[in-house]
Amino acid sequence: MNIYDELNLKKLINAAGTYTVIGGSKMSETTLDKMNEAARSNVEIKELQNAIHNRLAALTNNESCVISAGAIVGIYLCLASAISMKYKKQFKHLTKSEIEKAEIIMFKAHRNPYDRSIGLIGCKLIELGFANTIDIVDEETFEQAFTENTCAVFYLPSSEGGWVAPGALDLKTTIQVSKKHHVPVIVDAAAQLPPKSNLWHFTKELGADAVVFSGGKYLKGPQSTGVILGKKDLLDWVSRHNFPNYDIGRMHKISREELVGIYNAVKEYVLSDEEEEGNQATWIVNDLIQEFDKSNCFIFESSYPNEAGQPMPRAKMIIQSSKINVELVRDYLLSKENPIYTKIDNGYIYINPMMLSLEEYKIVKASLLELQEELK
Ligand SMILES: *Cc1c(COP(=O)(O)O)cnc(C)c1O
């Protein structure tokens, strides 16, 4: 019996995107096989980490790589490690007052529900500016925020169409100014794949010290993993703090299966044909537009980029019939034998093709045709 049947749970079709609440993305069959293999034998964890970190650094054109237990943990470990790097002491050896006086600079526009981990470090958070366009932080204001206690700058990059509020200084200038003060910049790019080039864009091209990606989003690795890429000096400190060492990373354990899973997933992603995946997404969106072109229930438009700012189109449903609304459509799709999970965004319902196989798309389309039929 299938495990979800045993637990009396329905398997969802993901027409929403890489949302954590529904388990993010799906891993490839090869990744699952490798995880299975890894589970069947013991191995020295530090040796496994070293081998995987070295290979992933090389594959992504970075000096160093560390796998963390999710992107949030990656950000937490990088920022805490920046404090250690400044004091030249492992985090567990820092005194409470040393930690409390350490400062991390971030823009108020970059406050987000994932940044609670920064508060856990116990240092000072210096917030600059506002989350709107009235008084955007300029270079001078940013420069003045640096003190002798500044240990790191945290940055949440926005891409066009994404959800990050305006109000921050641009990333390029942020990095230039921080470099002058010898302060590392840590970038949260958890959902900024595709494009693949972002694996090295923030670090190698723009000069950020570390960038963090979520393993369970577009990378299609285990959902509990994160990938930190960047400069060797900072990442060496991250490694010292990381599981299985007895420091702050010890509570963020990653199993050998997960380490192997994310390794294989990143490898597959680097070798994947991004253009072809983009073409499939565009094909799905265009197919919906054409199929419902003359419908008096709902029609579709292409919406680009998606809500995370990823360069992928979504199909935006424009309801024509007064008999339905977005909530009814969402609930209808969820009530099907193969429940289809969609997300309402800004009052519209979207079919996001990013995580849909063509097989699954057929089911989505059939369900939409059924809804149209029922409304006739
Ligand atoms: C998803 C996301 C995270 C969290 O990633 P996890 O791998 O789930 O920890 C952090 N920051 C941003 C901007 C995200 O989109």
Mean pLDDT of all residues belonging to the chain: 97
Q: What is the pLDDT of residue 103?
A: 98
14-44: pLDDT as tens digits: 999 999 999 999 999 999 999 999 999 999 9
Going from N- to C-terminal start, the domains of the chain cover 3-21+274-374, 42-271
CA gap 351, 315 in Å, rounded: 5
Residue with the nearest Cα to atom 3 of ligand 1? 190
- With a cut of 90, say whether residue 376 has pLDDT above it: no
Q: What is the pLDDT of residue 162?
A: 87
304-339: pLDDT as tens digits: 999 889 999 999 999 999 999 999 999 999 999 999
Q: How confident is the model at residue 260 (pLDDT cuts 50, 70, 90)?
A: very high
As beta bridge partners, residue 188 has 212
- With a cut of 90, say whether residue 154 has pLDDT above it: yes
Helical segments of 17-106, H only: 29-39, 45-59, 71-87, 96-101
- With a cut of 90, say whether residue 360 has pLDDT above it: yes
Q: DSSP for 266-298, please give it.
A: HHHHHHS-HHHHHHHHHHHHHHHHHHTTT-SSE
364-373: pLDDT as tens digits: 999 999 999 9
Q: What is the pLDDT of residue 349?
A: 97
Ligand 1 neighbour 71 (Cβ under 6 A): yes
Considering the segment(s) 42-271 as one domain, its CATH architecture is: 3-Layer(aba) Sandwich (3.40)
Ligand 1 neighbour 188 (Cβ under 6 A): yes
Ligand 1 neighbour 193 (Cβ under 6 A): no
- With a cut of 90, say whether residue 159 has pLDDT above it: no
**What is the fold, at CATH topology level, of the domain defined by 3-21+274-374?**
Aspartate Aminotransferase, domain 1 (3.90.1150)
Average pLDDT over every residue of 222-230: 98
Cα-flanking dihedrals φ and ψ of residue 72, to 5°? -60, -45
Residue with the nearest Cα to atom 1 of ligand 1? 190
